[in-house]
A and B are shown apart, each in its own frame.
Chain A
């Protein structure tokens, strides 16, 4: 049975992480960040999440930033500690994908100078690659783009993999990076946010049942949802009391 070892969230209210190393919360004001933008978060800087300088963080696209930051909070929560990182898998979910960087790359293309630095981020799964590099995770990866159900699918898949012995531990990340392109494409009101969960077959934590989560994948209704925050609104109820503040 999959157990929830660690959990993190990045949302307009700030950061939260919980795991073997304890529970922590921080508001953006406490971190010295500026006010949130129209899409929910202030500009993300490495220093909010990492103790050491991380220059590459600044070069990542917004989706990778918010996902890597969520994974770093799992690290801070002690989620990866004592685990064989060759065997830690990743399941991911994103509704908006890399829409913002798609738009930025398209602008450079139309201007006659397509940017290779932007193009490499025009795949929604790139955040799993960045997470793998940063945390040396070499397990299997699957990225689900199932619209509003994406985040739930990622978590349900993680639980399923653990339950069926497909992986001893799975990092599930649900994330969205919102911006003008998402708004123009009719995703409204788009929000930037990320949640991460480390599920494992061994370790201390509440049980997370794959079948129950898979049932929940049918519950969201289009039109009710705010991308990114949707994951939290829907999933927190499922995970309570495991992750209740």
Chain B
């Protein structure tokens, strides 16, 4: 039985200030420019957030708040029927790192937002599934709506970039010395970023015209704790779950996880071919533009994919110049590409073997800016 789709009726993304205006993240992505630059002690990554003094050292909270206040409370519904799903990997760790006494990470982030934004939904879930956290939060929120447990769902994803996280990835030798180049033949690692993202979901019947999530799936590789499976079978399983009952030829583009690490991007290419065969839709990725924003990444990519679905305009993949022959992927790069609006698939993978895939479709209406 097909379940009713879920509409994305409002969205926001807060990035650190950099090359693009703070509030024009889509403009940045479509420009093909990259925010990535050398950062002292953190390697090559997105620039630090320019924070209000009250947020000093609390980038995740600041970015979450910046995104949240653009979509909430304008979309509140009747009391008791709202739900909030929060996603993060580490949240803000500064207080804990400083004295070890404050509530660390996710709980600290949730409490800080409660203090700043009265009336946030009491009904909430806090999801932390490594780099698929944001996408997993969207899935959990959509299912709350489909299953009649809420009438409106607020999804928030945020993570700040701390020395803890940056030096950890450096220790794993996972960080590119020159900037992430997703799906490029010369890619040599990821770049870290920080962001906050928010969206409001409704059952599609309550929001005619809005872009919608029409399928999703998740899986585990059951293969390796910190590396992707070599054959992509875990991600392919998630994609097949998301595409169940769908004519795959209707998918116009794929927003790949595209971290820029050698093994992740190769794994994704194999999964794409396993699911789509020789006709893999055009692929794009945004981590060469804004870095890997961890707990926010999946949510940002769902929102962007919805934009692509509605407009048919596929952004270029910053950092990409030349693909690998083995991949045989059509990676959109250089300039945006105009296609006919249609289905867009977005995929994420993370430590612990987690995979998600979400399929979004345009509604009849315009992009809900």
Contacts and interface: CB of A to CB of B under 8 A. Distances in A.
Contacts of A55: none
B127 A144 contact: yes
A146 B171 CA distance: 30
Interface string A23-64: 000000000000000000000000000000000000000000
Which range holds the interface residue count of chain B?
35 or more
Nearest to A129: B352
A114 to B, nearest CB: 4
Interface stretch (B16-24, B28-36, B223-231, B360-368): B223-231
Interface stretch (A10-18, A71-79, A103-111, A195-203): A103-111
Q: Which of A106, A123, A137 has most B Cβ within 10 Å?
A: A123
B136 interface: yes
Contact of B106 (A116, A138, A145): A145
B130 A86 contact: no
Interface stretch (B64-72, B93-101, B258-266): B93-101
B105 A116 contact: no
Given A123-B89, A123-B352, A129-B352, A137 B222 contact: yes
A160 B146 CA distance: 12
A207 interface: no
B115 interface: no
A5 interface: no
B100 A103 contact: yes
Contact of B143 (A99, A119, A147, A166): A166
Interface string A125-147: 11011101101111111111111
A132 B217 CA distance: 17
Given A97-B106, A128-B220, A166-B143, 13 more contacts: A116-B168, A125-B129, A125-B352, A126-B225, A129-B353, A132-B222, A132-B352, A137-B220, A140-B217, A143-B127, A145-B127, A145-B128, A185-B104
Interface of B: 89-90, 93, 96-97, 100-107, 124-130, 136, 140, 143, 147, 149, 163-164, 167-173, 217-226, 234, 237, 351-354
22 contacts: A97-B106, A102-B93, A114-B171, A119-B172, A122-B168, A123-B90, A123-B351, A125-B352, A126-B352, A137-B220, A138-B220, A139-B219, A140-B218, A140-B220, A141-B129, A141-B220, A142-B140, A144-B128, A146-B126, A166-B143, A184-B100, A186-B103
